[in-house]
Amino acid sequence: MRRFFRIFSLSLTLLLAVLLAVFLWLQHQLRQLPVQQLDYQISQWGFRQLHLQHLSFEYLLDNSPLRVEFKQLTLGWHWQNWRPQLNQLSLEQLAVRLEQLPVTAESEASPAMQLPTEWHLPDWLPAYNTIDQLLLDLPCGEQRCHYQGSLKLKLSDQLSAYGQLAPQHQPDSQLTLQLDYQLQQQWPDIRLQLQVTDLLQLQLLSSLQADQSDTTQAHWQGDMALELQPPPAWLLTELRQWQLVLPETWLQQFQQQVTANSQWQLLVPTQISSQPWQQLTGRMQLQLSSPSPLYLPEFGLITAELEANAEFEQGQLAPFRLAAGGTLTELQLPEPLTALGFKAEPLYWSLSSQHNEAFSLAALPLQFLVSSADRKQQLRAGFQLDLPAQQAVIEQLELQLTQPELSSGDWQLSDWQLSSSLSGMLSAQSMELVSTKPLQLQAIVQNPALELSLARMSLELDELRFSSSGQSSGPAPDIQQKPAHTEQGFMAKASVHATQLLHPAVKPLDWQWQGRLDANSSSDWQFAAEGELAASSGLEFQTTVQAGPEQLAFNWQLADVFLLAGNTLATTLTDWPELLTLQRGRIKHQGELIISQPDDRLKLTSSTELLDLAGFYDTTTFRGLSSQLQLTMEAEQLLLEIPRLTLQQFEQGVVGGPLQLAATYQATLTAPASGTLELFDNELVLFNGRVKLPPMTLDLAQQAWELPLHIHQLDLQQLLTQHPTSDLTGQGLINGRIPLLLSAQGIEVARGRLQAEEPGGRLSYRSPQAQGMAASNPGMKTIVAALDDFHYSVLSSDVSYSTDGHLTLALRLEGRNPAMEGGRPVHLNITLEENIPALITSLQLTNQLNEVIQKRVRERLQQPRQP
């Protein structure tokens, strides 16, 4: 009896020690888990079972707290060779709460892998596993979404799993998963059934068997069947909670189920490389039918019928047949295209390939076609798809588009047509396209705001090359973001032809621009265009455009205009002065326009050079006109500079020249005609004398301006020589001051003064008409006799001129005639009146003028005089 008591006491002590060790080990294992806020309560434990009243903890999933709580957790096991073997796991409730969705990391390239040599399930997996209630609390948009479900898993000769999941507010709308897994001769057979109430049914059979003749490969065969129904109401409600709204137009059209079936029998190597396509041997079939449109996010609706059959031999295809086609409707065009007015009409698409000879998956030939019913919109592509490298070699891509009307702001395009032919390469990281034929774009162009219209505008791009590479790195993009290429380049040889360009500033002409375009973007985008602009009138420009994120610069240089060959400016510009004709000389011009961001600040500079111009304006001829004109517009200010202007000679009844002039003009762009004119170094040689205008500043905002003309040593003999009468001759030098008053009414002179230089000069007036009058008038006889050879010491005159062209000279003469009465002194006061426009006209009629000027003079003589 005592011996039995000792054995019993020792056994009990050992049992308590084992249970204590198990309890301490369990506590230690729980604390070693990567969790926080661990809390549990053991309600019962024994030699073969452990029951936890609850177990809860918080786990960080990509820095997002994941709260997990178990209720009524039971673990059962049996002892095998003094080691516990789990045989039961039951759970009354498992609640999982995720605070925020984890960020999906970028997937890396699949490394090489090896098929398992052991397909048995792990020994620690319990034979019976049940979760009576599974509760999920997930973030969806700005609210929370709650789901409930259950899971049962049984392990005997095979693994059978059955699970359900449904929204808490729609418990009858379930996702059901059933999985059967068993081994056949140590290789797995898998049967999977997935069903979503009133939406989807998926069945998958997969069988993997050893190849008895070659242990380095295995037989894999399978069958997949999919049926997809139109989305039920409960699913649409659930998607809206996740802020996913399907287009109503698609839901109305989606009336028939989508079916897909696939079968395969393949030999797969047990050692799978990183490019498993190259190791495929066997055959595959795929059938897809979508008679009702399916919605592709950010694209539109698509219907599809597809059938493919392929046989593989170590990555080589032979034979291969692919036939697919359908429709594309409700296309969602990019916003810039819709802003222009592009309208997406229904399109038909097809994808095909059929080859009996062997070829590699790295060069899969495909033909792709998208076309409208009338074939006015068409994209046709022939390319080779490199599946291992995930890229495509585009052998030929032909694009044809037409749009009846497009608009952007005030620009309106009609009868818009585009055609192009390209080739190149496309991958996820880069794209490169080159033209095989010139890209052609045609349209009728109008801009009512600019009063511009083109009967036809055609653009041709040759030697076109477009490249894009360098997918952006960094954190994985949002699900709605698309992969971006950080470096893009574009270049082409361009030709733009405008037929019958109509604009108030130019005459109806054809225009053409030829040059090169170059654009690229890395950290900042840049655009450049350089070429030659020419009009059918013969006017030509060299142009350069440089654009970037901070500014746009436009430079132009006019090809020298040689007027002897014709005035292309006059035949181009509608505002060319009708009365101005240039016959000889050369004109040079260049300029630059800069628009700076972000405030659209504008700066315009231009330089014009006139070289030895000759011609006539109205009834005035001129020659030897040379000048430089510099124009600057910046910050709402206008500056026009004429550093030097010279004119060798002009003639309008009288001959003058040379003329020298210099001036600057400043104004604001809001009032360009009310600025300040500064004059300096202005001088005219006239009748061998000089007419000078002192440096001065004129405010053009005033109503009238006075120009004090200073007369220096005008040669009286030259003046009288050019006068139309030959009865009066003389000698002497005239000085004086003529205050010229300019206003809107015309030119006026008041209190002008002229006088002869000492010691005077000579006058001789011998007129038959005056001698006839002197014969009957003694007083007149004395005057005529005195003026026959009058030696004057004083010759002065007051000068006045009215806006109607009437000139009045109040002459005072003091002198003598040596042959008259012993040369006694004679004082004469004479008032002379003359109509200057009429005088100039008579002078011009006596001169040899060209036909144009003669015609203008005669026309004015025939016009009735204004009262």
- pLDDT confidence band for 719 (50 / 70 / 90): confident
- Whether the predicted pLDDT of 180 surpasses 70: yes
Query: pLDDT (tens digit, 9 = 90+) per residue, 529-583?
Result: 999 999 999 999 999 999 888 889 999 999 999 999 999 999 999 999 988 999 9
Provide the residue type at 610 as one letter: L
- pLDDT confidence band for 27 (50 / 70 / 90): low
* Residue 310 falls inside a structural domain: no
Q: What is the pLDDT of residue 482?
A: 42
Q: Are residues 559 and 622 in the same domain?
A: yes
Query: pLDDT (tens digit, 9 = 90+) per residue, 5-23?
Result: 555 455 555 555 555 555 5
Q: What percent of the chain has pLDDT over 70?
A: 87
121 HSE (CA, 13 A, CB side): 17
Q: CA 232 to CA 492: how far, in whole Å? A: 52
For the chain, the maximum distance between any two Cα atoms, rounded to a whole number of angstroms, is 194
* Residue 383 falls inside a structural domain: no
3-state secondary structure of 329: strand
Beta strand 83-98 pairing with 128-140: parallel
Distance of CA 25 to the CA centre of its chain: 69
Q: What is the pLDDT of residue 419?
A: 93
Distance of CA 290 to the CA centre of its chain: 38
The answer to whether the CB of 422 falls within 8 A of the CB of 461 is: no
* Residue 496 falls inside a structural domain: yes
Cα angle 573-579-583, degrees, rounded to a multiple of 5: 80
Q: Which has the closest alpha carbon to 739: 715, 689, 700, 704? A: 704
Q: What is the pLDDT of residue 9?
A: 56
Q: Are residues 716 and 833 in the same domain?
A: yes
Beta-carbon contacts of residue 239 (< 8 Å; ≥ 6 apart)? 231, 245, 246
Q: What is the pLDDT of residue 286?
A: 93
With 0-12 / 13-18 / 19 or more C-beta atoms within 10 angstroms meaning exposed / middle / buried, residue 196 is buried
57 or 633, higher pLDDT: 633
Phi, psi of 345 (to 5 degrees): -90, 165
Q: CA 487 to CA 521: how far, in whole Å? A: 5
Residue span of the structural domain in which 650 resides: 537-678
Q: CA 185 to CA 218: how far, in whole Å? A: 13
Q: What is the pLDDT of residue 30?
A: 55
* Residue 265 falls inside a structural domain: no
Provide the residue type at 53 as one letter: Q
- pLDDT confidence band for 49 (50 / 70 / 90): confident
Helix (H) or strand (E) holding 284: strand 281-296
Q: DSSP code of 100? A: S
Q: Are residues 849 and 743 in the same domain?
A: yes
- Whether the predicted pLDDT of 320 surpasses 90: no
- Whether the predicted pLDDT of 4 surpasses 50: no
Q: What is the pLDDT of residue 867?
A: 44
Phi, psi of 343 (to 5 degrees): -115, 130
Q: According to DSSP H, which parts of 452-510 are helical?
A: none
Number of separate domains in the chain = 4
**Least confident range of 531-545, 662-676, 761-775, 801-815:** 761-775
* Residue 318 falls inside a structural domain: no
- Whether the predicted pLDDT of 643 surpasses 80: yes
Query: pLDDT (tens digit, 9 = 90+) per residue, 659-689?
Result: 999 999 999 988 988 999 999 889 999 989 9
635 or 214, higher pLDDT: 635
Query: pLDDT (tens digit, 9 = 90+) per residue, 126-141?
Result: 888 899 999 999 888 7
Query: pLDDT (tens digit, 9 = 90+) per residue, 212-238?
Result: 777 778 888 999 999 998 889 888 888
Q: Which has the closest alpha carbon to 257: 302, 205, 294, 296? A: 294
Q: Are residues 39 and 73 in the same domain?
A: yes
Q: Are residues 596 and 719 in the same domain?
A: no
Q: CA 794 to CA 560: how far, in whole Å? A: 54
Q: DSSP code of 314? A: T
Q: What is the pLDDT of residue 485?
A: 46
- pLDDT confidence band for 477 (50 / 70 / 90): very low
Tokens read off for 393 = 């070699």
Q: Are residues 712 and 857 in the same domain?
A: yes
Q: Are residues 624 and 773 in the same domain?
A: no
Q: What is the pLDDT of residue 847?
A: 57
Q: Which has the closest alpha carbon to 668: 634, 642, 643? A: 634
248 or 209, higher pLDDT: 209
Q: What is the pLDDT of residue 352?
A: 93
Q: Are residues 661 and 734 in the same domain?
A: no
What rounded mean pLDDT belongs to the chain?
84
Q: How many CB atoms are closer than 10 A to CB 243? A: 10
Q: CA 671 to CA 311: how far, in whole Å? A: 81
Q: Are residues 764 and 672 in the same domain?
A: no
Q: What is the pLDDT of residue 85?
A: 75
Q: Are residues 709 and 673 in the same domain?
A: no
Q: What is the pLDDT of residue 714?
A: 92
Query: pLDDT (tens digit, 9 = 90+) per residue, 576-610?
Result: 998 899 999 999 999 999 998 877 788 999 999 99
Q: Are residues 664 and 751 in the same domain?
A: no
558 or 866, higher pLDDT: 558
Q: What percent of the chain has pLDDT over 90?
A: 40
Q: What is the pLDDT of residue 854?
A: 59
Beta-carbon contacts of residue 826 (< 8 Å; ≥ 6 apart)? 786, 790, 813, 814, 815, 816, 817, 820
Query: pLDDT (tens digit, 9 = 90+) per residue, 451-464?
Result: 999 999 999 999 99
The answer to whether the CB of 61 falls within 8 A of the CB of 102 is: yes
- Whether the predicted pLDDT of 401 surpasses 70: yes
Q: How many CB atoms are closer than 10 A to CB 109? A: 7
* Residue 213 falls inside a structural domain: no
3-state secondary structure of 9: helix
Q: Are residues 854 and 750 in the same domain?
A: yes
* Residue 698 falls inside a structural domain: no
* Residue 247 falls inside a structural domain: no
Q: Which has the closest alpha carbon to 393: 420, 430, 359? A: 430
Q: CA 242 to CA 142: how far, in whole Å? A: 9
The answer to whether the CB of 541 falls within 8 A of the CB of 557 is: yes
